[in-house]
Amino acid sequence: MDVENAENQQTLTVDSNIENAEIVENKESAEQASESVKTSDEIEKAGNNEFEYLERNEFTSEIYKIEVKNLGYFGIGEFKKLLKTTLKLDITKIKSPTRKEFAFVCFRNQEDQQRALETLNGYKWKGKVLKAMAAKASADPLHKRRGEELSGETKPKRQRTAKEATCPLAELTYEKQLEQKTEEMSALLKKYTQELRRLNPAAKPHLDKFQFNGVLASPAVDGYRNKNEFSIAKNADGEIIVGFRLGSYSDGSVEVADVQQLPHLPAQAKWAALSFQQLVRQSKFQPFNPVGNLGHFRQLMVRTSSATGELMLVAGIYSSNLSESEQVELQQELKNFYDQPEQNETHKCSSLYYQDVKHREAGQMINPVTHLAGSTHITDTIQGLQFRISPLAFFQINTAGANVLYQQAIDLAAPTPDTTMLDICCGTGTIALAFAKHCKQVFGVEIVADAIKDAEYNAEANKITNCKFFAGNADDYIKSMVREALYGQEPGKPVDLIAVVDPPRAGLHNRSIAAIRSASAIKRLVYVSCNPNSAKRNFIELSRPESKHWKGEPFYPKSAVAVDMFPHTTHTELVILFEREAKTSTDAVAQAKEKTKEADVAAETEEQVAKTEETATTTTTTTT
């Protein structure tokens, strides 16, 4: 999956660190539309203290917060289950520092907070008596940091340049970049295999044969990024800039820097940033400012196609302080600007969208988009296949590198005409369709419904008929996809079932890993990770010994290869092949005996039930 959001604050999403809270998510709550458009001076003056945000009534979870102590060792998952399922408390979030015996729990209102205090204080859980008390709101990290700098408590940090923030390896030759990434991947895999040896001694013979085949180069080193999310704010000189963030909100930085000199951006993306910058500078609407949640122009997503030259722009607008008529006016301004002939001399915007970027409501997964002008999609090519890409769908960030990446996944999986492949987190179906010509059938699942529509369209457009896609959580569909694969298997033929996972940066949820492990028909698994450090948790979960929680035989790593999908950055894509150990004849006999024993017990039980029913019938007859 794409690591763009990790590349040193390239997106506008504000990084806070209030007791591990997501302050910005809450600070984005809706303001009254009557506030309308504020001037630049008003925006600059907004917010003068660390707790000013509470006065706007936007951060209710910090107002209605409690602290729960004496928890002992606990997992966030089990604590959440206690609060929501067992005690039926309506919580908004849980925040807990690592390796601590306490946690903060947030609520939407005072009634829910008070009920939680009464329920949790003195409650016995896991042999501990819990203590609950009201907690103070946390300080706004940006104001806190700035206050510390003004008072001399901390020294201001040197602001990084745009190249340092986004392309830290750009000063090295590409050969040196590959050498550095190979060393880092080798060290990470060594750490993983050492931990696995300790957790599962049975893995030792497999790990002795495990091979890492290095880092493969990207065919495109410069201008490779086909998707970029630019922030809209001011630079150190007070000029409005469409570019990349230089630091995080919690570090006291909201500055944005120009992107014209960055090597990994294509010319189309640089033109898009400049043209949108011109639009914002001449507009009466203001750039968004997280200090006070004021302003409107928040971000610009740019998607480009190396195959067709198409250019998609998605303008992210903070609309909480805009009336409906002002939103219509702003949308019309966007359309009029890109309709001007002089704006299309160098490059042309072929698809224009408006995105409402503000606080998401409960259950809302994405910020909605509205099509304004041009085509609704763009098209790109991977592995000789054409793919339609919608504004919010996932697509590999480096198209040329994706050809290498997918070929490595295919080579490691080694599918045959009898293979069924499960593509977990399939996006627009790029991996699934690349595998399709090598397999009997392919099933894919993805949580973004629009991406599934694209996947189905892409299959039809490429005349691929052996793929089936499902929209929903991977956790819910893995077992059903396995059942469908087994149901369609010819009697007497061995099952060849492969799973390929390409999850988001954080990796797969442990429920998905548990579902994969419990599906004994899956013998091989290819894990594609854009963040191997985060995915290491999944690697361990796949390979742990079988237990009450991790049912099913473990998967062991066989071989791995990395692909440099992100030249000039520190990120690398890693592909690992996992296989289950084939059961020995002794194992098979033992399993057969166990099944026979279970069958005997079941038959004996049925016989006892039959006798009981017969006795009951006789008794009834006698009584009558």
Reported as a single tens digit per residue, the pLDDT across 53-105 is: 555 545 556 778 999 999 988 878 889 899 999 999 998 888 877 657 889 99
Question: Which numeric CATH code is attached to 54-134?
Answer: 3.30.70.330
In this structure, are residues 132 and 104 in contact, taking their beta carbons and an 8 Å threshold? no
Instruction: State the number of CA atoms in the 13 A half-sphere of 189 facing the CB.
Output: 25
Tokens (6 digits) for 343: 């704006």
Is 411 within 8 Å of 383 (Cβ atoms)?
no
Give the bridge partners for 444, in sequence order: 423, 469
Edge-to-edge strand order for the sheet containing 419-424? 211-216, 555-563, 573-580, 522-529, 496-501, 419-424, 441-446, 467-471
Q: Indicate the domain borders of the chain.
A: 54-134, 227-304+311-377
Whole-number Å distance between alpha carbons of 564 and 166: 16
The Cα-based distances of 596 to 364, 434, 578, 601, 604 in angstroms read: 50, 43, 31, 9, 12
Residues of the chain with pLDDT under 70: 1-61, 98-99, 139-158, 247-253, 359-365, 582-624
Decide: 567 and 218 in contact? Cβ < 8 Å: yes
Tabulate helix, strand, coil % of the chain (nearest 5): 40, 20, 40
C-alpha to C-alpha distance for 399 and 178, rounded to whole angstroms: 19
Is the separation of the CB atoms in 14 and 255 below 8 Å? no
- Which of 435, 388, 400 is CA-nearest to residue 416? 435
Q: Of these residues, 106, 349, 426, 530, which one is catalytic? A: 530
Residue among 576, 570, 565 at smallest CA distance from 540: 576
Determine the CATH number of domain 227-304+311-377: 2.40.50.1070
Q: Which residues are annotated as a binding site?
A: 396, 446, 502
What is the C-alpha separation between 184 and 354, in angstroms, rounded? Answer: 40
Q: Which two tokens stand for residue 385?
A: 């296949």
Angstrom distance (rounded) from CA 198 to CA 191: 11
Q: What are phi and psi of 279, to 5 degrees?
A: -60, -50
Amino acid of residue 173: T
Q: What's the sign of the alpha-carbon dihedral 319, 322, 328, 334?
A: negative
Are the beta carbons of 398 and 218 closer than 8 angstroms?
yes
User: Are the CB atoms for 458 and 387 separated by under 8 Å?
Assistant: yes
- The closest of 533, 578, 502 to 187, measured between CA atoms, is 533
E strand segments, 516-605: 522-529, 555-563, 573-580
Structure tokens at 273: 């940033």
What is the reported pLDDT for 362?
Answer: 56
Q: Is 426 labeled as catalytic in the residue annotation?
A: no
**What is the reported pLDDT for 403?**
97
CA angle 67, 72, 77 (to 5 degrees): 75
Place of tokens 């999403």: 13
Do the strands 297-304 and 419-424 form a parallel or antiparallel pair, or are they unpaired?
unpaired
Residue carrying structure tokens 């903070």: 318
pLDDT value at residue 349: 95
**Would you tell me how many other CB atoms lie within 10 Å of the CB of residue 187?**
10
Distance CA 13, CA 16 (A): 9
Q: Which residue positions form the known binding site for S-adenosyl-L-methionine?
A: 396, 446, 502
- Which residue, 571, 3, 8, is CA-closest to 251? 8
Q: For residue 365, is it left (φ>0), alpha (ψ between -120 and 50) or beta?
A: alpha
Q: How far is CA 343 from the centre of its chain?
A: 35
Q: Whose CA is closest to 110, among 140, 94, 134, 93?
A: 134
- Residue 154's pLDDT is 66
Cα distance between residue 290 and residue 202, in whole Å: 52
Q: What length is written for the chain? A: 624
